[in-house]
């Protein structure tokens, strides 16, 4: 390959923006995976406090899984149409708001509804996370490192959730297993808006990024 055809190195500002975007996506996934494992530890305390029946308690998990599984593919397609960054930020916002509702729940119905909303937010954010990374990191080496960080964050979140769930439930109460998502979600939203470029998908199916703050609709 000649020097003229070699790809030009990314500017320091572009590298910093991509790394911040990786941090935001990884943080969002950490929060989602963490919540999935942390809830299972607090189930006995939730049952005792809210008066769940054994059959009703299963809906604390089932409501989340039903919403997540049924909307994952749809969220991915909508992310292609309206922009992956927009879908990711909306998912994190929905998940964070639902976490506040779940933490404040005083009845089984409210908690189950909040868990359903958490599943919706999780599907919205998860469906486009890898697409964002693949679009931002085009070099094979950078892409491999970004995906490795993303995968490690998800694996670590599942392990941390088991420990953190017990600590929060014993030291405070089960409400805090949901409230812990609030600072994480708000921090991700605050950093994501300026750091992640807009990502849209053209009619040909090719993803593109834009450094402009406004969203670019698909062609």
User: Does the domain made of 13-193 have the CATH classification 3.10.350.10?
Assistant: no
Average pLDDT over residues 18-40: 81
How far, in Å, are 47, 110, 133 from residue 43 at the CA level? 6, 15, 34
Query: Is the separation of the CB atoms in 177 and 168 below 8 Å?
Result: yes
What is the distance between the alpha carbons of residues 200 and 217, in angstroms, rounded to a whole number?
7
Work out the pLDDT band at 4, boundaries 50, 70, 90. Answer: very low
Residue 148, CA distances (Å) to 153, 176, 184 in order: 9, 30, 21
Backbone φ and ψ of 206, nearest 5°: -95, 130
| Segment of 3-17, 55-69, 159-173 carrying the highest mean pLDDT | 55-69
Residue 84 is predicted with a pLDDT of 82
pTM of the model: 0.77
Q: List the chain domain ranges.
A: 13-193
Average pLDDT over residues 197-206: 42
Helix or strand run (H / E) with residue 207? strand 207-210
Contact 57, 47 (CB under 8 A): yes
Q: What is the pLDDT of residue 116?
A: 94
Relative orientation angle of helices 181-195 and 84-103, to the nearest 10 degrees: 160
- pLDDT category of residue 97 using cuts at 50, 70 and 90: very high
């Amino acid at each position: 390959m000649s020097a003229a055809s070699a790809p030009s190195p990314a500017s320091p500002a572009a590298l910093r923006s991509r790394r911040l975007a990786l941090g935001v996506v990884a943080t969002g996934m950490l929060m989602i995976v963490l919540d999935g494992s942390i809830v299972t530890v607090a189930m006995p305390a939730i049952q005792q406090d809210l008066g769940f029946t054994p059959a009703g308690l299963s809906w604390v998990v089932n409501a989340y899984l039903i919403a997540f599984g049924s909307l994952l593919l749809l969220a991915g397609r909508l992310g292609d149409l309206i922009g992956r960054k927009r879908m990711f930020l909306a998912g994190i916002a929905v998940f964070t708001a639902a976490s506040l509702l779940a933490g404040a729940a005083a009845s089984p119905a409210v908690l189950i509804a909040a868990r359903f909303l958490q599943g919706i937010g999780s599907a919205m954010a998860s469906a486009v996370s890898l697409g964002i990374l693949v679009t931002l990191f085009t070099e094979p080496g950078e892409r491999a490192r970004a995906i490795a960080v993303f995968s490690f964050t998800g694996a670590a979140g599942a392990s941390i959730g088991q420990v953190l769930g017990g600590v929060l439930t014993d030291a405070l109460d089960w409400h805090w297993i949901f409230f812990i998502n609030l600072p994480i979600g708000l921090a991700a939203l605050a950093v994501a808006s300026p750091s992640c470029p807009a990502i849209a998908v053209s009619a040909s199916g090719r993803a593109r990024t834009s450094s402009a703050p406004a969203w670019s609709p698909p062609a």
